[in-house]
């Protein structure tokens, strides 16, 4: 495997020097997408938020600022991501407002119906089966809780499909595939917005009350 391909494969589970470089780029490179995604959230006052596939922790930090009374739990499969996210959000962790831990979205060890909001930025590409993982998200959300998904690729753009061939285990889903899996997992009011100029999609789903 060439160096460039090894680097891009760090997006799935960052580790080592290349993983650290990838995580450093994620915080800045995905910021615009995440901020666009946040605009789709209705007025909320959540007590508990979970960020799934938190990467280097930037988006968890933004939610801590957006919702100053909330506690944010940030989860990632990669130990290196957990380390970087914990460092990024150290002040909030010390203040008791943030927890960063390693976890598997296909087997979430979190409190049932413990969260009002769950987020997933640039991560569902690597989840081991959408419906199974979405069922796990539904399990930890309170009735009526919201699940926000943001992807840079809508599954139709050339760049997204190119990276699907380069990165092992990556699956770029079309909006209708995500929507169908959410409905099967028990979510209702599933709405998708497509960015006007980019192949970005934002999916907002509500768990049945």
**Collapsed DSSP state (helix, strand, coil) of residue 15:** coil
pLDDT by residue (tens digit) across 105-132?
999 999 999 999 999 999 999 899 999 9
pLDDT by residue (tens digit) across 157-175?
877 676 676 667 678 999 9
Contacts of 184 (CB under 8 A, 6+ apart): 131, 134
| Integer angstrom CA distances of residue 56 from 32, 103, 153 | 15, 14, 20
In the chain, domain spans? 3-207
pTM as predicted: 0.89
Which CATH superfamily groups domain 3-207? Vaccinia Virus protein VP39 (3.40.50.150)
Whether residue 86 contacts residue 57, with contact meaning beta carbons closer than 8 Å, is answered with yes
**Collapsed DSSP state (helix, strand, coil) of residue 116:** strand
| Percent of the chain as helix, strand, coil, to the nearest 5 | 40, 25, 35
């Amino acid at each position: 495997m060439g160096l460039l391909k090894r680097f891009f494969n760090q997006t799935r589970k960052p580790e080592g020097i290349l993983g650290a470089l990838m995580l450093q780029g994620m915080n800045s490179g995905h910021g615009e997408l995440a901020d666009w995604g946040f605009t789709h959230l209705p007025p909320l006052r959540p007590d508990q938020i979970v960020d799934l596939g938190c990467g280097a922790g930037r988006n968890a930090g933004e939610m801590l600022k957006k919702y100053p009374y909330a506690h944010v739990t940030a989860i990632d499969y990669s130990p290196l991501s957990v380390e970087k996210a914990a460092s990024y959000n150290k002040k909030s962790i010390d203040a008791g407002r943030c927890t960063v831990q390693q976890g598997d979205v296909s087997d979430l060890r979190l409190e049932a119906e413990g969260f009002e909001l769950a987020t997933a930025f640039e991560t569902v590409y690597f989840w081991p089966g959408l419906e199974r993982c979405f069922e796990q998200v539904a399990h930890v959300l309170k009735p009526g809780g919201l699940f926000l998904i943001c992807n840079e690729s809508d599954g139709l753009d050339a760049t997204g499909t190119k990276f699907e061939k380069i990165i092992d285990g990556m699956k770029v889903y079309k909006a209708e595939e995500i929507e169908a899996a959410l409905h099967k997992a028990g979510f209702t009011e599933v709405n998708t917005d497509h960015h006007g100029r980019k192949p970005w999609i934002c999916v907002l789903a509500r768990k049945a009350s």
